Structure 1
Amino acid sequence: MPTKQITTQFGHSLAPEGPHTITFHVPGWDSIVAFRAGDPAILSQMRSIYPRFGPFFEARELAAAIHAKLGLSESQGVLPFVDPAAFALAGEYAFSKHRAEGQRLVRGELGFRVVDVGGVRVFVVVYPMAKMKGVIGIWQNQGYGVSTRLGAELLKSVEGMRVVEWEGVGGEGEGLEGFPEATYLPEGEAHRELRERIVGLLKRAAVGGGEGGVEAGDVFLEPTGMAAVWRLYRGLASVRKGAVVALGAIFHSSWHLFEEAEGGFKHFGDVGEGVVDRLEEYVQGEKAEGRDVSFVFLEFPSNPLLESIDLKKLRALADKYGFPLVVDDTVGSFCNVDVLPVADVLISSLTKSFSGYANVMGGSITLNPSSSHYPLFKPTFTSIFHNLLYEADATQLLHNSADYLSRSTILNRNALALATFFHSHSRAIRPSSPLTKVLYPPFLTTLPNYKAFMRPATDEFTPGYGCLLSIDFITEKAARAFYEAVRLHKSPHLGAHETLVLNFNECAWGDNKELAEYQASFGAKMDQVRISVGLEDADLLVGTVKAALEVAEAAENAEANGV
C-alpha cells in the first residue's frame, strides 16, 4: 500500500506556500512544544505561521515600520489594531490578575498611539518587550490583529504615515476615552456575497424543513473565528450579566477568553448522559443566589474529542430557564450539521473547511430570527458591529468557498476511511494494539446526538461527519512513535487541503500541569493525536497511517518486553 512523502522543510507551509498561508510544518513531538514556549531556535526557522499567534510577516513588517516612525526604543514593542476597543482591552488584559507574575504589567508600562496609514486609522498598543507575554493575548485570543493582506497593503503607504495627536486617558480597569474616531474598514461586494453564501448554506437541506427566515443581515463577518467568539462575548455580556458556561471540550483560545469573563466561568467536561441534569442543578443554584447565566457555549461536535451533546434536551433546558444557547459548528461544518433549530446564536470559523485552502482567516456570527432572544440580540450586535474583515480577505474567502461542498465530500470520505481503519486496528478489535480509542462520531456513544442534526442527503451533497478525528494510545511512547513516524504535515489548523497531524492537547494545555490534568479528566489527554484530513487519495492516507501504526506497535512491544 503506498504511503505519502513529505518534502516540506521545517517551518514552511504546506504547498502551495505563499505570502498569506497559515500553516507551518513543525515535525517532532517536542518541536511544537518548544514552539509553544517561544524557543528562539524554533522561531528562527519559521517561514510561515498561523497569523493569530502574533504579528508575523507582513503584519510584523507593518508593526516594525510604525515602531520606527514613532521613534520608539528597542525595549518597546507595538501591536497595531484597526479597532480602538483594543486600547481598553489591552489595559484590562495586561493588568489582570490572570497574568503571571513577571508578565503582568503595571500602570505606566502601556502606551497608546494613533496613526493614519493609507486611509486607515491604526490604534497602536505600545508595551515593554520584556513583558510581551502579558500583552500578546489580546492579539491571540480576541483575534482582532491586522491580517497579512491588510498589513501588506498598509505597508505601501507607511512612508506617508501621520501621527494623530490626542490626549488619552486610561488606567487599570478604566479603559481609555477620548481617542480619535475610528475609520474601521470598508465593506465591498465580497462581504455581501459571502453573507449570502453562508445564508444559502444554512438554508440548504435544513433539518426540520426551514431556517426560520435567517437572512444576510443576521450574519456578522469577523476577521477570525476567535474575533467572532470575542464579539459574541462582548455583545451578550453587555445585555446579560452572569457566568459564561461551556460544555465539553472547547478550543483553547475560547477557554482562555471565557475564563476571564467578568461574570465568571463554569465548565462541564463530560457531555455524556447526565450533563444536562448537572447543568440544571448549577443554573438553579445560581438563581437561588440571585445570579443568572449569561449564555451557554459548546462546540458541535467538540474539538478534539468529537463528542456531541444532546442538543434537544439542552434546548428544552434553555427554554425552561431562559438562557441563550450558543453553538460553534466549525468542526461539524455548515454542510453536515444544522444546529439552527436549537441555537440562539451560531458561531463559525470560516478559516477552516469553509475556506479549505489555508491561506485566509475569517469568522461569522449568525443570529437566529426564530430565537426568543433575537429582538434583543439583533439591535445589540448591530450597534457594536464595525467591519474589521479586510476586503481582500473577504474576496479570498469567497473564492475558496466556491467548491466547499465538493471538497467537503472528499473530507468526509477521507476522515471516515481513516477512522474506520483505526477502529479496525484498535483494542476494541485487536487486544494487542497500542491504539485504544478512535474519537470520531460514528465510533462514539454520542453518535445519536450528532445524527439528530445531520442534514438530509440531496442530489447535490450527502452529509458526513467532518474532517477531524483523534486517536488515543495505550502509552505516550506509542503515541510519540506514531507521531514521529507518520509521513504527514505536523501543524495546528484543521480543514486544509492536505492532511495535518498534531499533538493538539500537549500543544494547547501542556504548559499548565493543573489545567492539563483537568482536560485529561474528560478525555483530552496529553498523548492524544489529532488528525485533520485533507483532499488526498483515501488509500494513500490509509497506507500512510498504517505504516506509522506498525512503528507504534513495535515501540510498544519493545517497551512491554523491556527493550
Structure 2
Amino acid sequence: MPININTEFGHSMPPEEDHNITIHAPGWDNAIKFRNGDPSVLNKMKSIYPRFGPWAQARHILFDISAKLSLPPDHGCLAFTSPEAFAYAKQFAASSHRSPPEVKLEQAELKFRVVDVGGVRLYVVVFPISKFKGIIGIWQVSGTGISTRLAEELLKHVDEMSVVDFEATGETEPLIVPETTYLAETNAHEKLRERIWALLKRSPIKPTDVSPNDVYLYSTGMSAILGLHKALMAIQEGSVVAIGAVFHHTWNLFEEAPAGFKHFGPADVKSGVVDKVEAYLINEAEAGRRISYLFVEFPSNPLEISVDLKALRELAVKYKFPLVVDETIGSFCNVDVLPAADVVITSLTKSFSGYANVMGGSVVLNPSSIFYHSALKPTFMTTYHNEYFSGDASRLLSNSDDYLSRSAILNRNALALANLVHSYCTPSGPVTDMLYPPFTDTAASYRSFMRPATPAFTPGYGCLLSIDFDSKDSAIVFYDALNVYKGPHLGAHLTLAVPFNDLVWGDPTHCDVAYHRAYGLRTEQVRISVGLEDEQDLVEAFKAALHACCEAARKK
C-alpha cells in the first residue's frame, strides 16, 4: 500500500505535537534554501530541531526575558541553565573561526545577566541582534539551550521573573556568578540511568563493572559531547583527534580545541587509517606531547564506516590516551563498544527515544579504563551538574519503554531497503554505492562488536543508511520521487530522507567542500533514516524512486 503523506510543508511528521523535533520539507532545492537561510523557506517552518535555534516556547520565554531586562530593541538574548554557558560564549565569540567580520562578535558586545523564573535560575547571554549568526553557535554547538518543555514550564511563571543582582560585560575576568543552582534530578533521571545501565549489561561481549552511577545524562547529544570534551581537556592536555565522518557541530567544537584538532578523513580498511594515526602519535610523543583523546563514531554518520576499534584500543593503551566512541548510529541494543572504549557517548534523541519529540544525551564511563579511578570518575563527580529538565527526562523514559521492539523493526526495515538498493548498484548505472555496515569493507569490524543474539532480541545494523549516485541530477530525481518524509533527524518512528552532505557540508563559504568530499561526504548522496512503516510499503516506495532515477538516467 502506498505510504500516505498529508503533512504540510514546514510542519513536523505526525503526530504533530508541541515538542516535535522534525520538519517535513520536500524538495532538494528547499533543503539548500534552508541551508542558505532563504526566508521563502524559513518563514514556512512550523517545527524545527530545537538545537538549531530557539523555537516555539523557547523563543517566547526569551522574548519575555528580554522585556524583563529592558534590553534595547536591537539586542536579543539566549538563556541557559548553567553558568558555564558564560565562559563558553566568551570563548566562542573570541574564536578566530567566527567569520565573516560582520558576524564576528567582540567580547565587549556580549553582556551577561542572571534571572530566576519559577524556581529555575537562568544564565542569560545578551548580544546585538545584528550579530545573531555569530552567536547562535553557542546554542547549536553546546546543545545546552533551554528545551521547549522547560520553556513551557517557565512561561507559567513568567510574571514572577526576578532579575538577580549581577552584571558583567564580556571584558570582565572572571565573571563572578551569584549562587549557582542547577536543575533538580527526579525519579525519571534515576530510572533512565538504570535503563541505560541495563542495556549496557544486556548480552555483553565482555562483562564489565559499569553501574548506573557511571551513566551521566545531558539535555542533548551535543551537550554530552561538550561536557565530556571539557572534562577530558582538563584531565590531559593535547590535541583532539577524530577519525572519519563526525557530526558537523562536533567538528565545530573540536576545531576550537586549544592544542588543535587533528582529523583523519578516509577511514575504511584500504585507507590504512590506524597506521596513519599511530604515525601521528609517534610524532607527538617525540615532541614530548600526548593527545587529549581520540573520538570516533561507530559506525559513522552518514558513511557507515566502522573503524577498527580493537586496533584503536591497542593504540590507546600504548600511547596513554582515552578512546571515546559515539555509538549513536549502532545503538546500545546492537553493539557493545565498552570492550574498546574508555567512554561511550550516545545521542538519546535518536533511536533510544524513537518518537522525535524529546532530546537527550548520555556519557558512560568505563570502570575498566585506566583513566577511570585516577581521573575520569573524580572529574565527573566534582564537575558534573544536572542540566536535563525533568519533563524531558520523563518523556524520554516513556519513549524508551519499547526501545528493543522498535529497534528490531528498524533493523529489519533498514536491511531490507539496503538489500534492495544494493541490487541496483552498478558501475555504469545512476546508483553507485549502498552505504550500510554489511556492505562496507569495515563490516568485519562492526560484526566484531555486535552483541550476541538472545531469544528476546537479535542485533542488527541500525536504522541509518546512505545511497551514493553518479551525479547530483540522479540523486535529486531519486530524492524528489521518494515518497517518505523529508528533513533532518534520524531514529524516528517514520522514515526520513535528507540530502545530508549537501545540506551540511555543501556550502563552500562555511567549509572545505573538497576536503570532506575526498573521504566520502559527497553531495551526490542521500541519507535515509528508516522508520517503523510496513516493510513492503517501504520497499515499494523505494522501488518507485529507484525506477524513476534509472529511467531518467536512461533517457539522459
Task: Output the TM-score relative to the length of structure 1.
Answer: 0.96
User: 1:443 Cα deviation (Å)?
Assistant: 0.8
- Tell me, what secondary structure is at the counterpart of 1:241? coil
Distance verdict in 2 for CA 1:425–1:3, change over 3 Å: farther
Compute the displacement of 1:74 (Å).
Answer: 2.2
1:74 aligns with 2:73: yes
Offset of residue 387 of structure 1: 0.4
Aligned equivalent of 1:180, options 178, 181, 186: 178
Aligned residue for 1:258? Answer: 254
Alignment of structure 1 residues 267-286 onto 2, 5 Å: 267-273=263-269, 274-286=272-284
- In structure 1, what is the equivalent of residue 501 of structure 2? 505
Secondary structure of residue in 1 paired with 2:209 = coil
SS in 2 for 1:20: coil
Cα distance between partner residues in 2 of 1:393 and 1:94: 29
CA displacement, residues 14-52 of structure 1 (integer Å, 9 cap, x when unaligned): 000100000000111121221122222211111111000
C-alpha contact (below 8 Å) 1:300/1:329 kept by paired residues: yes
Given candidates 343, 346, 350, the residue that maps to 1:345 is 343
Aligned to 1:557: 554
In the alignment, structure 1 residue 518 sits paired with structure 2 residue 515: yes
- Per-residue CA distance 1:524-546 (angstroms, 9 max, x = gap): 10121000000001110010011
Name the aligned partner's letter for residue 539 of structure 1. Answer: Q
How far off is 1:108 after superposition? 2.0
Instruction: Name the structure 1 match of 2:237.
Output: 241
For the residue of structure 1 that corresponds to 2:292, the secondary structure is strand
- Which residue is 2:436 aligned to? 440
Verify the 8 A CA contact 1:170 1:176 in the aligned structure 2.
no
1:108 maps to 108
Residue 177 of structure 1 aligns to a residue whose secondary structure is coil
1:183–1:552 distance in 2 versus 1, CA, 3 Å: same
Please give the residue correspondences for 1:277-356 in structure 2 after superposition, counting only pairs within 5 Å. 277-356=275-354
Q: Is the 8 A contact 1:80 1:145 kept in 2?
A: yes
C-alpha displacement of 1:286: 1.1
Match of 1:372 among 370, 378, 387: 370
Opposite residue 484 of structure 1, the aligned amino acid is D
Structure 2 CA distance for partners of 1:175 and 1:525, relative to 1, 3 Å: farther
Q: CA deviation at 1:379?
A: 0.8
CA shift, 1:175, in A, is 5.9
Q: Which residue of 2 aligns with 1:133?
A: 133
Instruction: Give, in angstroms, the shift of residue 291 of structure 1.
Output: 1.8
| Alignment partner of 1:20 is 2:23 | no
The answer on whether the counterparts of 2:184 and 2:386 sit within 8 Å (CA) in structure 1 is yes
Equivalent residues of 2:470, 2:524 under 8 A apart: no
Where 1:470 maps in the other structure, the secondary structure is strand
Q: Aligned partners of 1:167, 1:364: CA distance in 2, in Å?
A: 33
**Aligned partners of 1:358, 1:166: CA distance in 2, in Å?**
38
Match of 1:422 in 2: 421
Residues in 1 aligned to 2:546 and 2:407: alpha-carbon distance in whole angstroms: 26
- Note if 1:529 corresponds to 2:526: yes
1:372 counterpart letter in structure 2: I
> How many Å apart are 1:255 and its aligned residue?
0.7
Cα distance in 1, alignment partners of residues 327 and 464 from structure 2: 12
Structure 1 SS opposite 2:256:
coil
Residue deviations 1:61-116 (CA, integer Å, cap 9, x gap): 00011111111122111101111111111111112111002111113211111111
Residue in 2 that maps onto 1:405: 404
How far 1:432 moved relative to its partner?
A: 4.7
Distance 2:274 2:27 in 1: 40
Residue 90 of structure 2: aligned partner: 91
Distance 2:76 2:169 in 1: 21
Partner in structure 2 of residue 5 of structure 1:
4
Partner of 2:119: 119
Distance 2:107 2:90 in 1: 9
**Structure 1: how far apart are the matches of 2:474 and 2:144?**
39
- The 1:410/1:125 distance shift into structure 2, 3 A limit, reads same
Query: Counterparts of 2:388 and 2:106 in 1: how far apart (Å)?
Result: 32
Aligned match for 1:450, one of 443, 446, 451 = 446
Check whether the contact 1:415–1:468 (CA below 8 A) recurs between aligned residues: yes
Please give the alpha-carbon distance, in whole angstroms, between the structure 1 residues aligned to 2:59 and 2:526. Answer: 31
> What is the SS of the residue equivalent to 1:346?
strand
1 CA distance for matches of 2:53 and 2:292? 30
Whole-angstrom CA distance in 1 between matches of 2:49 and 2:169: 34
CA distance in 1, matches of 2:164, 2:279: 53
The structural deviation recorded for 1:170 is 4.1
Residue 468 of structure 1: how far off its partner (Å): 0.2
SS in 2 for 1:338: coil
Shift of 1:169: 5.7
Conserved 8 A contact 1:184-1:388: yes
Are positions 1:149 and 2:145 aligned together? Answer: no
Q: In structure 2, what is the Cα distance between the partners aligned to 1:229 and 1:551?
A: 41
Q: Distance in 1 between matches of 2:428 and 2:289?
A: 52
Q: Which residue of 2 aligns with 1:540?
A: 537
Distance apart, 1:232 and its partner CA = 0.7
Q: Structure 2 stretches of 5 or more lacking a match?
A: none
- How many residue pairs match? The answer is 551
**What is aligned with 1:163?**
163
- CA displacement 1:391-431 (0-9 Å, x = unmatched): 0100001000000000000000000000000001111xxx5
Q: Which residue of 2 aligns with 1:494?
A: 490
Which one-letter code corresponds to 2:210 in the other structure?
V
Counterpart amino acid of residue 494 in structure 1: L
Contact kept, 8 Å, 1:202 with 1:338, in 2: the verdict is yes
* Residues 362-404 of structure 1 deviation map (CA, whole Å, 9 limit, x = unaligned): 0000000011010110010121111000001000010000000
Further displaced range: 32-41 or 525-534: 32-41
The percent of aligned pairs where both chains have the same amino acid is 56
Secondary structure, counterpart of 1:326 in structure 2: strand
Q: Which moved more, 1:277-286 or 1:101-110?
A: 101-110
CA distance, structure 2, for counterparts of residue 73 and residue 42 of structure 1: 29
**Does the 8 A contact of 1:82 with 1:182 survive in 2?**
no
2:200 counterpart of 1:205: no
Task: Provide the residue aligned with 1:478 in structure 2.
Answer: 474
Write the distance in 2 (CA, Å) between the matches of 1:80 and 1:330: 27
Q: In structure 1, what residue type is equivalent to 2:164? A: V
- Aligned-pair Cα RMSD in Å: 1.1
Alignment partners' CA distance in 1, 2:287 and 2:555: 57
Q: Which amino acid aligns with 2:253?
A: L
Render the CA deviation track for 1:477-516: whole Å, top value 9, x for unaligned. 0000111111111111100000000000111111236522
Structure 1 residue 190 corresponds to structure 2 residue 188: yes
In 2, Cα distance between equivalents of 1:33 and 1:373: 44
Distance in 1 of aligned mates of 2:175 and 2:105: 20
* Distance in 2, Cα, partners of 1:257 & 1:32: 24
- Aligned in 2, Cα 1:300/1:442: closer, same or farther, shift over 3 Å? same
Between the aligned partners of 1:537 and 1:165, the Cα distance in structure 2 is 57
Q: Is the 8 A contact 1:92 1:175 kept in 2?
A: no
Read off the aligned partner of 1:442 and give its amino acid letter: P
Decide whether aligned partners of structure 1 residues 374 and 556 sit closer, same or farther in structure 2, where only a CA change above 3 A counts.
same
TM-aligned CA distance change 1:164 to 1:244, over 3 Å: same
Indicate conservation of the 8 Å contact 2:141/2:249, yes or no: yes
CA distance in 2, matches of 1:156, 1:5: 38
